[in-house]
Amino acid sequence: MIWGFLRDLLSGVNKYSTGIGRIWVAVVFIFRLLVYVAAAENIWKYEHDEFECNIKQPGCENVCFDHFFPVSHIRLWALQLIMVSTPSLLVVFHVAYRENREKHHNQKLYRSPGEIDGGLLCTYLISIILKTGFEVVFLVLFYKLYNGFKVPRLVTCDIRPCPSTVDCYISKPTEKMIFLYLLVATSCLCIVLNLSELSYLIFKYSIKCYLKRYIKKHQ
Amino acid sequence: MDWGALHTILGGVNKHSTSIGKIWLTVLFIFRIMILVVAAERVWGDEQDDFICNTLQPGCKNVCYDHFFPISHIRLWALQLIFVSTPALLVAMHVAYRRHEKKRQFRKGDQKCEYKDIEEIRKQRFRIEGSLWWTYTSSIFFRLVFEAVFMYAFYFMYDGFRMPRLMKCNAWPCPNTVDCFVSRPTEKTVFTIFMIAVSSICILLNVAELCYLLTKFFLRRSKKTGNSKHHPNHENKEETKQNEMNELISDSCQNTVIGFSS
């Protein structure tokens, strides 16, 4: 999986972020992306091969695995990383649009194309809301699909063609659970960072607006 | 996307480290990350496939493996390396923040004269002073804490640092006490001891760096109080100018930071 592209995207976004935004980028990059690539991927690598059912009936293992893991944890994790990083592209596109406009009109239209004000502020706020939304959606999806964030050692399965209720054993359940909790913890941290950034920006620009109006009144 | 990206980020921090900090970084990359990627991952690569239990009972092997290895050595080391490298980012963030402030100040002030001086001063050495000293010291402290916590967790989880050849398991659904054999126990023991030894060296380096910084801090303080008695105003002005120049170097030299620029 070419995660280098995501790394470059995050580096590009970093230029136009606030301080809290940069901390968010660092958290996503180091505690989520790097942990995923360096450690988590290998844990789930042979999950299907190592999933064992106490039966010789052909097809029973496949059917049971598919029943308990409709979408593998690791794939959901990857999707979450991609969806959560993508809203930042909106900001990059908007800045590029501003720079293009300045070139086209051959004059300075903005104080600085990368400065967060006016339309870019709206785009930035929308990207933060989308990021937070995706985080929450994926956490809820994880919770609903797997009945919480636990990974049991043993699951019982009685779907055709399994002849009776069969015991199936998941490989490395404890290790998977530890990394799932790490994923949830970093997701929650990112949600908190996004909400603080949102409040900070709204507060900052409300104060700015209010001061402008106050000065105008007195002039 | 791999450990190389971490190397790019930390490489930028390297410029602002002390000599001991640079040695620590080299030890981290060569004796820990490189060994992990090149050797250790191969040794632990087939750990579950070649973990064999003396039973045909399906599920017994999975359960016994999970019981004896709640989290694999290799994953624990990877997490340790990530957590131990992260405090250095505090320093990078602080430097980036200072650079941003200086840029803002110079936009208002007289820009051209200062830039000529900076070009010459860039070749001079950067010093860790003021609030950056506190950030740097806290980052070393956190590094130490993370190293110690992970080493203790390792010792606690695996009852020491030896990998036994044989483990006896009677977790359900194993029908009775079953013998389970670990793959490559000697090789794993050797690498475990090696990684623990390098961790200990890193802890020693961090402690040495901390002592060095504290000694420097107290010496500088005693010099300042000594100087202020003899030359109250002149020396302070010179020092503040030198401090400002040093901050400019740090800010202008830093080009990696959290930008992750390739």
CA B245 to chain centre: 28
**Would the pLDDT of B36 be above 60?**
yes
Which pLDDT band, with edges at 50, 70 and 90, does B37 fall under? confident
For every one of its 219 residues, what pLDDT tens digit does chain A have, with 9 covering 90 and above? 567 777 877 888 888 888 899 899 989 988 999 999 888 988 998 888 899 999 988 889 989 998 999 888 998 999 899 899 889 888 888 888 888 888 888 877 777 777 777 888 999 999 999 999 999 999 999 999 988 888 999 999 998 889 999 999 999 999 999 999 999 999 999 999 999 999 999 999 999 889 988 888 887
CA B128 to chain centre: 18
Nearest chain B CA: its distance from A55 CA (Å): 8
A174, B70 contact by CB (below 8 A): yes
Residue A115 in contact with partner chain B when CB distance is under 8 A: no
At A128 the pLDDT is 95
Q: What is the pLDDT of residues B67-95, one digit of tens each?
A: 999 999 999 999 999 999 989 888 888 88
The 3-state DSSP class for residue B152 equals helix
At B148 the pLDDT is 94
At A131 the pLDDT is 95
CA distances A3 to A130, B72, B169, B178, Å, are: 21, 24, 40, 43
CATH number of the domain within which A179 lies? 1.20.1440.80
Sheet containing B178-181: which strands, arranged edge to edge?
Answer: B52-53, B178-181, B166-169
Least CA distance to A1: which residue of chain B? Answer: B1
Interface contact flag, A26 B258, Cβ < 8 Å = yes
The answer to whether the complex's ipTM is over 0.90 is no
Residues of chain B positioned with their CB less than 8 A from the CB of A53: 58-59
Cis peptide before A161 (omega within 30 of 0): yes
Interface contact flag, B58 A35, Cβ < 8 Å = no
Write out the H or E segment, with its range, that includes residue A169: strand A166-169
How far is Cα A180 from Cα B245, in angstroms, rounded to an integer?
A: 47
Residues of chain B positioned with their CB less than 8 A from the CB of A43: 72, 75
Compare CB distances from B82 to A14, A34, A53 and report the shortest one's residue.
A34
**Would the pLDDT of B107 be above 90?**
no
Least CA distance to B260: which residue of chain A? Answer: A11
Averaged confidence pLDDT in chain B = 79
Which pLDDT band, with edges at 50, 70 and 90, does B155 fall under? very high
Domain ranges of chain B: 19-47+75-106+127-166+189-220
How far is Cα B49 from Cα B163, in angstroms, rounded to an integer?
A: 17
**Would the pLDDT of B112 be above 50?**
no
| Number of domains into which chain A is organized | 1
Placement of tokens 């480290």 in the chain:
B17
Which pLDDT band, with edges at 50, 70 and 90, does B111 fall under? low
At A4 the pLDDT is 77
Interface contact flag, B1 A43, Cβ < 8 Å = no
What are φ and ψ of residue A53, in 5° steps?
A: -110, 150
Query: B130: left (phi > 0), else alpha (psi -120 to 50), else beta?
Result: left
Q: What is the pLDDT of residues B181-202, one digit of tens each?
A: 998 888 899 899 999 999 999 9
Nearest to B2 by CA among A152, A36, A82: A36
- The parent domain of residue A7 ranges over 1-218
* Dihedral sign computed on CA atoms, order A15, A16, A19, A21: negative
At B199 the pLDDT is 94
Write out the H or E segment, with its range, that includes residue B167: strand B166-169
How far is Cα A31 from Cα B85, in angstroms, rounded to an integer?
A: 11
How far is Cα A196 from Cα A19, in angstroms, rounded to an integer?
A: 11
Interface contact flag, A22 B260, Cβ < 8 Å = no
How far is Cα B57 from Cα B55, in angstroms, rounded to an integer?
A: 5
Q: What is the pLDDT of residues B119-135, one digit of tens each?
A: 444 444 456 778 888 89
Residues of chain A positioned with their CB less than 8 A from the CB of B49: 46
**Would the pLDDT of B19 be above 60?**
yes
- Better-scored residue on pLDDT, B21 or B261: B21
| Lowest mean pLDDT, pick from A110-114, B21-25, B169-173, B250-254 | B250-254
Residue A57 in contact with partner chain B when CB distance is under 8 A: no
DSSP secondary structure of A99-156: HHHHHHHTS--SS-TTS--THHHHHHHHHHHHHHHHHHHHHHHHHHHHTSS---SEEE
Q: What is the pLDDT of residues B220-255, one digit of tens each?
A: 888 877 776 665 555 555 555 555 555 555 454 444
The CATH number for B19-47+75-106+127-166+189-220, chosen from 1.20.1440.80, 3.30.70.20, 1.10.357.10, 1.10.1740.10, is 1.20.1440.80
